[in-house]
Amino acid sequence: MNNRDALLLAAKQCLLEKGYNRTTARDIASAAGVSLAAIGYHFSSKEALLTEALLLAFGEWDQDLQQALQTAIPPGVAPAQRFEATWAKIIATFETHRALWVANFEIFAQMVGRPETREVIASKVHLARAGLAAMFLNQDESTISEQTVRTIGTLHHVLLSGLVLQWLIDPAGSLSAKDLTEALCATAESLRPGRKSSEKRPGMQPGNRKRKKGSGSG
């Protein structure tokens, strides 16, 4: 293994074991068995190396997820069932790959002061959105249009980012795959053509609103 590959694997290991903020250049060099100068030579900076290591780790996460989906979702399953089963597998990785998701948000926090990091991450976001669109539409990624990537792919990217953040803050209070499916189906139903705005939705009736204890009518 050459020094560059050794550094990349060591950086990924440190990232998952210590996190982005607590990993030092010396930690990586020591784990790789190379000199500190090798980091600058091959990657220009510790931050650039850790960013590439994160992308490597997410590539492995995607491979694991795809394999899990192949065994969990039979061909011809109904769209809603496929949606729920796919999200169930993704949400399960919040626990199994927790260190990866934490490191992901740690790097996000660094992007404000590091435009070079933001540019690298931004260049990969489009690929992530394309992959998500293909996954949830059950289509080959090469057939997905740019418009579909921008809309459906971005929607699922937003859902993923939000769900991860909520799970990291409050796992017990975050949405399950079933909750998410029901919520989106209900939202889609409320937006269907021909639905009158005056139609009442469950939970929106005035009588269903709980009054705070001690509150008066004025």
As averages over each run of 10 residues, the pLDDT of the chain (218 residues) reads 95 95 96 95 94 94 92 88 94 95 89 83 90 92 95 96 95 95 93 69 46 42
Q: 């996000």: which residue's tokens? A: 108
Q: Considering the domain boundaries, does residue 58 fall inside one?
A: yes
Q: How many angstroms separate the CA atoms of 134 and 86, rounded?
A: 12
CATH value at residue 168: 1.10.357
Q: Considering the domain boundaries, does residue 165 fall inside one?
A: yes
Q: What are phi and psi of 21, to 5 degrees?
A: -70, -30
Q: 């959105």: which residue's tokens? A: 129
Q: Considering the domain boundaries, does residue 137 fall inside one?
A: yes
Nearest residue to 153 via CA among 130, 180, 125 = 130
Sign of the torsion formed by the C-alpha atoms of 56, 152, 110 and 115:
positive
Q: Considering the domain boundaries, does residue 93 fall inside one?
A: yes
Q: Are 138 and 159 in contact (CB under 8 A)?
A: no
Q: Considering the domain boundaries, does residue 166 fall inside one?
A: yes
Q: For the stretch 153-167, what's the b/e string if a residue is b when 16 or more beta carbons lie within 10 angstroms of its beta carbon? A: bbebbebbeebbeeb
Q: Considering the domain boundaries, does residue 117 fall inside one?
A: yes
Q: Considering the domain boundaries, does residue 21 fall inside one?
A: no
- Structural domain span for residue 89: 47-191
3-state secondary structure (DSSP) of residue 143? helix
Nearest residue to 58 via CA among 47, 46, 50 = 50
Q: Which amino acid is at 178?
A: K
- How far is CA 43 from each of CA 7, 11, 114, 186, rounded to the nearest angstrom? 9, 11, 15, 48
In the chain, count of helices (H) and strands (E)? 10, 0
Q: Which amino acid is at 135?
A: M
Q: Considering the domain boundaries, does residue 16 fall inside one?
A: no
Instruction: Report which secondary-structure segment, H or E, holds 134.
Output: helix 115-137
pTM (2 d.p.): 0.80
Tokens of 186: 């209900």
Q: Give me the number of domains the chain comprises.
A: 1
